[in-house]
Chains A and B, each alone.
Chain A
Amino acid sequence: MTALYAKFARRYLLGKKGRSLMTLLGIALGVTMVSAVMLTNSAILASYESLLSAAAGRADLQVSAASGSGFPEQVLADVQTVREVGAAVPAVTSGAPVVAGERKSGATFYGVDPALDTQVRSYKLKDGRLPRRTDGRETAISSDLAQALGIGVGQTYSILTTTGLQEFTVVGIFDAGGTVRGALGPFGILPLRTAQEIFGKVGKLDLIDVIVAKGSDIAAARERLTEALGSRVRVGTPVERSRDMQKVLDSVKFVLTMAGSISLFAGAFIIYTNVAMGVAERRRDLSILRALGLRRREVLSLVLSEAGILGLFGSVLGLFWGYGLAGAMARQLTGQVLVAYGLQKAQVTLDGVTTALALIVGVGTALFAAAGPARETVRVSPVEAMRPDGQGDTARERHVVLRAAAGLLLLAGGVAFTYLTWPEQGMLSALMLRAWGVAMALMLLGVVILLPVLLPLVDRWLLRPLLARVLGVTGRLAADNLVRNPRRTAATVCALMVSLAWMVAMGGVKASQVASFDNWYNKAVGWDLNISTSYAGLGAQVEIDPALARDLAAVPGVRLVSPQKMTRAMLADGDPAFLQAFDHRLLRQYSEAPMEAGTWTAAADAMEQGGGALITPAVARRLHVGLGDDLTLPAPDGDLRLKVVGIMTDVTPYGGTVQIDWQDYARHWNDQTASNIAVLLQQGADPAIVRKAILDRWGDAMHLTVRRNREFWAELRAQYEGFYKLMDGLIWISILVSGLAIANTLFASILERRREIGVMRAVGTTRGEVIRVVLGEAFSTGVVGAIFGMPIGVAIHWVMTSSMEFINGSSVHPVMGWGAVGSGLLVALLLAPLVGLLPARWAARLDVVDALRYE
């Protein structure tokens, strides 16, 4: 029997190559997106964990800085006094641009004590040795960095330090794939003291790796260390630090998973229409088989096995495409969003879990989609199915009231859940974010269930009158055909509807983010030039020595020089936030922070006095503080109490921002280095000339980047564009799948109405009129998709934008994404007729006699 099934399935699938290919594509594209999202997420998380664990080596615990500027070196002595600590290995880390001749790269450097460091980390040396503790000019580098710079043992290269480029000698090259895996990217080690000096961290450490003493418990050691060290540092296991990354990823993952699910949703519908069409086409054949003695169960197995075969091949294809797409997505994310977390690249690997899930999802969807039409086939008696006038009947919608009730219930339930769980305070937990995703999926399901009920109403009140007016009787026929099989039409409309909703939603989110960003930037960023040491694209930044700020003030045309600090800080709730430090006496001369509560003038006055903090709504939510309240900020020298003098708008996605005055930062963080320097020019000074003067003097030695105001704006805008380009790619794949679904449904509809089309042609319908009927049907599908998809998209956009403040901390005000609405409308109105051209042509060219044939 299996051989017989296989023969039938093979003959059918190979006999209908075009249709089988379309089904295969539908499944493959759905699985592509789902697997790409899964692989990207796991690659980034795994790479970050690998980065941390590779860097931590055999350490049981890590003492790390609560902020980006490290902690006092004395902490090491405090750690060593804890009885449970067997060994404590200090380190300083920094990303830095490196240069060898004409070649440039970016690298992560670890400043370590080589003698101590081997207790926690092992380096698989390929050549040479590790640097000596005492020789400040020696480095060992990873083989990929050596390759990027084209250098070997004994050769020199330059590292950009806070005071400019300094030369170092390579004494060892270690295997990049060994201890330090790909996540770190190019990597190098230096003697600890040297690293402290060149990265502006004298007397400071970034990390202490702890090996717990033999016989001691890790948890107990951790408790004792936390007690001894207080809030100025974090104590945890190396992998726990990936929690920060997890938080950043949660919102990205939410968006990507939604996109993947939507594509799978659309993929499921195309499978459904294909299988339904296959069954409709072979209704008589299958009935003959039943008449010849094949049982219902066996016919069911036959249809399901065909769907299963397509599902399997489609899933395998989709998995490989997904693997490729995940590589591109991971590159985009690490290159733009996650580089701030030190993640230079994420290696995508095709793991067993993703493979199994992709196969389950692809094959499962195919089988689920096939089950309905297959059951319908076997429900009809063979004699009835073999009757020629059994074709083309109008499918009657059953259980209309039940269906409407279920759909409304799901919709109302989803809306109520979102409303009731909307957080007044605090941030949305990862669990709640998932729950919202489920609620959104249930609401969509509600619409899907409701659509077959609503479709005839839309047809009667809108499409039929509209098309009849525009196309006459052909329009009426087109509108009627749309509701011949409401469930199948609804399935097709759903695929388009969901894609359109996603397009409008993401377009709206993007428009809102860009508008909020532009508003913020135009007020908050008022300098003429900005100077930093970062190399665009290399993701390695070195802090700038304060001496440069003093020298810059002497450059002709410069009116004001203001060092600025951008780093991270751990808030009292244990989660990170963005920390900014400005000299507010200078800042208020060129910038004005857009405020959500309080006024900028009052806030700036208070900040100048010291002890003030400007916070963003996300920080206010997290710490339950408001204007005038006290706020505790853990600093390297202990808890710092600040007064909230204003709540300002934030556009960064890092969970909120705290802004303090430069003097407070310098004192409590013991750090005078700047992340960048803002320069305000004298009236009439030409920014290009001043930039040239700065670059001529310090450009080479310090490898400075000097940006003009609009250039920086364009760079930041490009980051938004980059992320949304990725989203656009996913959305367009989903629209492509919807297009396939529409074409397929039209083929199915034509196939079922072959005889009718034959009759129409026989009684005087021209080929052009047949084409108009089919295109009218396609157009109607697009219109219905737009009617339901656009408002859903706007609603999703509003929820996503409004909730961003408690998902990633950025305060974005929703504005309509008219561009996306326009594009969505164009897609809805043009895509369907466009993909309908081929089926329409096919319908018009049907052999009339053949179509009229009874046998």
Chain B
Amino acid sequence: MSEDVKAVVGLSHVVKEFRRGDTVVRAVDGVDLTIGRGEFVAIMGKSGSGKSTLLHLISGLQQPTAGTVTLLGRDLTRLTDDQLTLVRRDQIGFVFQFFNLLPTLTALENVALPLLLARVKTQEAEARARHLLATIGLASRAGHKPDELSGGQMQRVAIARALVNDPPLLFADEPTGNLDSVSGEEILLLLKEMQTGRGKTILMVTHDAKAAAYGDRLITMRDGRITMDERTGGSAA
């Protein structure tokens, strides 16, 4: 297997600039990065360091000002908006800090949503969602709406939603940022399990060093550049 196939994410001389009035802000400044299949990568850095922007570029939510971003061998800079959407739908699972579940849908419906958007039949989609909820210990909460769940439960539902399409990549943006320490640890263990048990590639942005310790690779960013990229071995798990 060549190095290219093993690499699920590749960034080459990536620059991302934003215009704020008359000022141009360079959020990501010439980043080169390769992430291999099955890695759990934690990205750390202060506010404004460019870590979230990096995540957005890798997921195709934003396009770089310069450089190329490849995901599973496809150059994201050459894709249309709809093609990028399909990449996100089929290849990436997202976990957000504030869970971002749709308030009008039940836990089951929230988890099944990506499948339904992919035109999977409702019965099959709900069966898969139900199975996944059972796997993460929320079978009994399937019929509840988000406002009837705790923070930890909501985040677990969000992880189930991210996994329901069985995407090879899981992107988590501060997944424990809005949780108490016990719930946070449960979520991190769940993510680790997804890496080790299911072979998912995980990219997690976090402020929290304890959370970062669950990854087996730690990237530190500052002023849009990678200042450190080290193997940690996932010691916390």
Contact = CB atoms under 8 A, between A and B. Distances in A.
A392 B103 contact: yes
Contacts of B161: 763
Q: Of residues A393, A394, A762, A849, which shows the largest number of chain B Cβ atoms within 10 Å of its Cβ?
A: A762
Interface in B33-87: 56, 59, 61-62, 81-82, 85-86
Contact of B96 (A474, A765, A852): A852
Given A763-B114, A764-B88, A848-B61, A484 B104 contact: yes
A393 B146 CA distance: 11
Contacts of A480: 104-105
Given A394-B103, A472-B116, A765-B85, A854 B62 contact: no
B119 A764 contact: no
Q: Of residues B96, B104, B162, which shows the largest number of chain A Cβ atoms within 10 Å of its Cβ?
A: B104
B32 interface: no
A240 interface: no
B17 to A, nearest CB: 14
A764 B114 contact: yes
A769 B119 CA distance: 12
Nearest to B119: A472
B97 A763 contact: no
Given A769-B117, A849-B61, A764 B90 contact: yes
Given A764-B86, A766-B82, A473 B113 contact: yes
A117 interface: no
Contact of B102 (A389, A756, A766): A756
A528 B43 CA distance: 95
Nearest to B94: A762
A765 B103 contact: no
Interface in A764-802: 764-769
A759 interface: yes
B90 to A, nearest CB: 7
A762 B59 contact: yes
B5 interface: no
B98 A389 contact: yes
A760 B86 CA distance: 12
Contacts of B88: 762-764
A761 B159 CA distance: 17
B100 A473 contact: no
In the A-B complex, the 10 residue pairs with the smallest Cβ-Cβ separation, listed nearest first, are A764-B89, A480-B104, A473-B116, A759-B100, A766-B85, A848-B61, A764-B88, A849-B56, A762-B94, A389-B98
Contacts of B56: 849
B125 to A, nearest CB: 9
A481 interface: yes
Contact of B100 (A481, A483, A755, A768): A755
Contact of A759 (B85, B90, B102, B119): B102
Interface of B: 56, 59, 61-62, 81-82, 85-86, 88-90, 94, 96-98, 100, 102-105, 113-114, 116-119, 147, 161-162, 165
Task: Describe A's contact surface by its main secondary structure.
Answer: helix
A297 B104 CA distance: 33
Contacts of A849: 56, 61-62
18 contacts: A394-B103, A394-B147, A473-B117, A483-B104, A755-B100, A759-B94, A759-B96, A759-B100, A759-B102, A763-B94, A763-B113, A764-B89, A764-B114, A764-B165, A767-B82, A852-B61, A852-B96, A852-B100
B97 to A, nearest CB: 7
Interface footprint category on A: 20 to 34
A464 to B, nearest CB: 10
B97 A854 contact: yes
A394 B147 CA distance: 10
Contacts of B103: 392-394, 484, 756
A388 B77 CA distance: 31
Contacts of A38: none
B44 to A, nearest CB: 18
Contacts of A769: 117
Q: Of residues A394, A758, A764, which shows the largest number of chain B Cβ atoms within 10 Å of its Cβ?
A: A764
B101 to A, nearest CB: 8
A849 B162 CA distance: 18
A37 interface: no
Interface string A25-69: 000000000000000000000000000000000000000000000
Contact of A388 (B90, B98, B117, B162): B98
A477 interface: yes
Given A766-B81, A852-B100, 6 more contacts: A394-B103, A756-B100, A764-B85, A765-B117, A768-B82, A848-B61
A377 B5 CA distance: 54
Contacts of A760: 102, 113
Interface string A633-651: 0000000000000000000
A756 B61 CA distance: 15
Contacts of B59: 762
Nearest to B55: A849
A762 B104 contact: no
A394 B104 contact: yes
B105 A764 contact: no
Given A388-B98, A849-B61, A763 B119 contact: no
Interface in A283-311: none
Given A849-B61, A849-B62, A761 B100 contact: no
A848 B97 CA distance: 15
Contacts of B117: 473-474, 763-765, 769
A388 B104 CA distance: 18
A680 to B, nearest CB: 73
Nearest to B115: A473
A749 to B, nearest CB: 12
A763 B104 contact: no
A769 B113 CA distance: 13
A755 B86 CA distance: 20
Nearest to A763: B114
Nearest to B86: A764
A480 B104 CA distance: 6
B61 A477 contact: no
A481 B103 CA distance: 10
B194 to A, nearest CB: 16
Q: Of residues B59, B90, B98, B147, which shows the largest number of chain A Cβ atoms within 10 Å of its Cβ?
A: B98
A848 B88 CA distance: 12
A759 B94 CA distance: 9
Contact of A764 (B96, B118, B147): B118
Contacts of B61: 762, 848-849, 852
A151 to B, nearest CB: 73
Nearest to A481: B104
